[in-house]
Amino acid sequence: MSAASLWPLAVPALALLVTVAQRDVHRIATVARATALVLWALAIWALLSRPLGLWDPLALWFLLMVLVLTGFCLMVSAQYVEAEVAQGELTAAQARRYFLLFQGCVLSLLTIGAASNYFVVWAGVEGTTLTTILLVAMPGGRAVEAAWKYIVITGIGGLLALLGTVFALHGAQIPLNVTGFALAPAPVAGPAALAVQIGFWLALVGYGSKAGLVPFHTWLPDAHSEAPAPVSAVLSGVKLAGGVYALLRLLALTDSAVGPLWPHRMLIIIGLLTLALAAGALAGQRDLKRLLAYSSIEHMGLIVLGAGFGGLALAGALLHMWTHGLGKTGLFFSAGNVRLRFHSTSAPSVRGVLRAMPLTGAALALGASAIVGLPPFGLFWSEWLLLLGGVRAGYAVWVAVAVALLLAAFLGIGLRLPALLLGAPPKEALPAEGAVREGAGSTWVLGLELAALTVVGLALPAALHSVWLSAVRLGGG
């Protein structure tokens, strides 16, 4: 593995160049749609040919997720921004800046998955953060406050992650200019082991802030709720998972160098605390996007918990990255449709979504059913595997606590969402002549995502299943 593994970055890089040269919003949106199609084609190629000479299975698993989900986000971005420009919410210059930053974000996300070096992964995570901060700030008003909180917490976090990586590699006696991931370094003791442990702590704080783990999560609900909907989707569905992926890379190294016991315990504690905070906060949310943001915190806690349990639970955690990404991006796209129609995402301004926007309302209801872990959607199976793996690994008590917290989260979403979906919508939200069409072309994306979630829930396609199993083995599961 070498710099050649970064060649998929050429796609968003080229799209960036074309976007720079364009002024017309519709042409720029077309470039975004074309980029999405190329990313999906790339995903199909990577899935069928499994180029393991370029990427190891764990990297391939994450890369495939990025390719698929950022494709969805680009498609919906094109529709969303065109609608915002048509409504006068965005100027053409702002729309152009949006696409420049969004393509930069896609480039950074692909860097995380395609990289074969710890520092390049870190750079990808940082690039994603810096581009999305500017995207979050775009609407102005309260959004700039969210962006400031976001940059202070995750900016410091990113720098600590860099120091953590240096400490961990130095302690594990791995050259800092290593190409490829050190999967099984020799065990170390004494000061070297202490350096690895400090490194993992720092990385947990740093990448944990990127993933919205407690207690570094406070930027997340604000940033997600203030950002344009497709940005919230990419933040929640892909970017948060990027932080966890980077952490998993260092976890494998730490396990081999100093043993698996204490890093895994730390992950279990942080995972449960994150889950507990989110479960407690969900019931108090009146804003749809804040509700979804806290749900993302909950799911990141769950994924980290699975990584902490290890074994079969890690398989569940890796699958959960995908299933959560599919479900949550769809929900944020729906929230975007709601905002375009209601000019708000908060109760009581938003009510009766099912009557005002039947397709979006149905997608919200189905997406919420998926996200709380109901069958037949994929999240049911990933959560089941994760919890079963915890029991098998001897953490039955912690699994029981996690189940109780998941039930609390289920109730939180179950109590809040019907108030938005049911009832009579305000008159101004009913479709009028000249109003923006429901979803304006993104409903097929919602349908596709729900279908994919169902397929993953019923039977993971063989090619993806094979990559998944290899990734789990590589991750130590």
Partner 1 sequence: MSSGVELASAAVLLLLVVLAVMARTAPAGVTVYAWAALPQAAVAAALAASGGGALLWVDAALILAVKGLWVPSLLRRSLPVPDRHGYGLAASMSPPMLLGGAVVAALLGLRLGVLLGPAAGEALGLGLAAILLGFGIPAVRSELWAQTVGILLGEAALVLTALVLAGDLGPTAEILSFAEVILLAVVLGAVVRAVRDVHGVADVRRLGRLRG
Judged by the rule CB under 8 A, the positions of this chain that interact with partner 1 are: 117, 119-120, 122-123, 126-127, 130, 133-134, 137, 140-142, 144-149, 151-152, 155-156, 158-160, 162-163, 166-167, 169-170, 175-177, 191, 194-195, 198, 218-219, 221-222, 226
Q: Which is nearer to partner 1, 217 or 341 (CB)?
A: 217
- Nearest to partner 1 of 128, 382 (CB atom): 128
CB of 294 to partner 1, least distance (A): 11
Q: What is the DSSP string of 302-339?
A: HHHHHHHH-THHHHHHHHHHHHHHHHHHHHHHHHHHHH
C-alpha gyration radius of the chain: 21
Neighbours of 20 (CB within 10 A): 12
Q: Report DSSP state, residue 176.
A: T
In angstroms, the CA 146 to CA 124 distance is 22
Nearer to partner 1, 71 or 158 (CB): 158
**Least Cβ distance, residue 442 to partner 1 (angstroms):** 27
Give whichever of 154 and 256 is closer to partner 1, judged by the CB atom.
154
- Is 27 or 142 the residue whose CB approaches partner 1 more closely? 142
Residue closer to partner 1 (CB basis): 293 or 399: 293
Q: Which is closer to partner 1, CB of 158 or CB of 271?
A: 158
Cis amide prior to 228 (ω within 30 degrees): no
Taking the complex as a whole, the smallest distance from the CB of residue 382 to partner 1 amounts, in Å, to 28
Convert 111-149 to b/e letters by CB count within 10 Å (16 or more is b). Answer: bbbbbbbbebbbbbbbbbbbbbbbbbbbbeeebeebbeb
Q: How far apart are CB 151 and partner 1 at their closest, in Å?
A: 6
Assess contact for 12 and 107: CB atoms under 8 A: yes
Least Å from the CB of residue 177 to partner 1: 3
Closest CA to 147 of 225, 212, 199, 211: 225
- What minimum distance in Å lies between the beta carbon of 40 and partner 1? 29
- CA atoms in the 13 A half-sphere facing the CB of 179: 8
| Pick 169 or 357: Cβ nearer partner 1 | 169
Distance from C-alpha of 379 to C-alpha of 232, rounded to nearest angstrom: 20
Strand partners, 287: 346
| CB of 419 vs partner 1, minimal distance in Å | 20
> What three-state secondary structure class fits 17?
helix
CB of 194 to partner 1, least distance (A): 6
Verify cis geometry, omega within 30 degrees of 0, for the bond prior to 215: yes
Nearer to partner 1, 118 or 332 (CB): 118
Q: How far apart are CA 148 and CA 160, in angstroms?
A: 18
Residue 272 Cβ, how far from partner 1 at the closest point, in Å? 20
346 has which bridge partners? 287
